[in-house]
Amino acid sequence: MRKIILLFLITISFKLSAQEINIIPQPVAIKSDQKAQPFKIDITTSFYADFGATSSISFLDDYLNKYYNLKLKWFKNPDIKRKNMINVIIDKGVTKADQYQLKVDQNNITITAGSDTAAFYGIQSLIQLLPTSKSTTLNVPAVEITDYPRFNYRGMHLDVSRHFFDVAFVKQYIDYLALHKMNYFHWHLTDDHGWRIEIKKYPKLTEIGAWRNGSIIGLWPGKGNENIKYQVLPTEVKITPKDAVLQTDGIKHGGYYTQEQIKEVIDYAAKRYITIIPEIEMPAHSMALLAAYPELGTEPNKKYEVAQTWGMMNKYNNVLQASDTTFKFLENVLTEVMDLFPSPYIHIGGDEASKIWWKKSAVSQDIMKANGLKNESELQSYFIRRMEKFVTSKGKTIIGWNEILQGGLAPNAVVMSWQGEKGGVEAAKQQHKAIMTPEIKMYFNHAQFVKEDSLTANKFSPLIDVYNYEPIPAELTAEQAKYIWGGQGCLWSEYITNPAKVQYLLFPRLDALSEILWSPKEKRNYPDFQKRLKTQFKRYDLMEITYSKRYLEN
Which residues are marked as active site? 191, 285, 352
306: nearest Cα among 398, 210, 371: 210
Q: How far apart are CA 534 and CA 93, in angstroms?
A: 37
Separation CA 472–CA 287 (nearest Å): 35
Asked if 459 and 446 count as a contact pair (C-beta separation under 8 A), the reply is yes
| Nearest partner of 253 among 337, 162, 346, judged by Cα | 162
Q: From CA 206, how far away is CA 198, in angstroms rounded?
A: 6
Residue 198 is given by DSSP the state -
C-alpha–C-alpha distance, residues 426 and 404, integer Å: 11
Distance from the Cα of residue 144 to its chain's centroid? 30
Neighbours of 90 (CB within 10 A): 20
Q: What's CA 190's distance to the chain center, in Å? A: 15
* Closest C-alpha among 138, 145, 146, 118 to residue 55: 118
Rg, the chain, Cα only? 26
Gap between the Cα atoms of 150 and 44, Å rounded: 37
**Whether the Cβ atoms of residue 490 and residue 444 lie closer than 8 Å to each other:** yes
Spatial contact of 170 and 305, defined as CB atoms under 8 Å apart: no
CA distances (Å), 296 to each of 321, 325, 327, 444, in order? Answer: 6, 7, 9, 33
Q: Could you give the residue ranges of the DSSP H alpha helices within 84-130?
A: 116-127
Question: What are the residues facing 186 on neighbouring strands?
Answer: 157, 277
Q: Count other C-beta atoms under 10 Å from residue 394's C-beta.
A: 12
CA 244 to chain centre: 37
Whether the Cβ atoms of residue 87 and residue 48 lie closer than 8 Å to each other: yes
Q: At a CB cut-off of 8 Å and minimum separation 6, what does 520 contact?
A: 26, 28, 150
Give the 3-state secondary structure of residue 431. Answer: coil
Instruction: Characterize 367-383 residue by residue with b for buried, 16 or more Cβ atoms within 10 angstroms of its Cβ, and e for exposed.
Output: bbeeeebeebbbbbbbb
Q: What Cα–Cα distance (Å) separates residue 410 from each residue in 94, 381, 389?
A: 38, 7, 8
Q: Concatenate the DSSP letters of all residues of 303-347 into one string.
A: ------S-S-GGGS--PBP-SHHHHHHHHHHHHHHHHH---SEEE
3-state secondary structure of 285: coil
Residues in the chain: 554
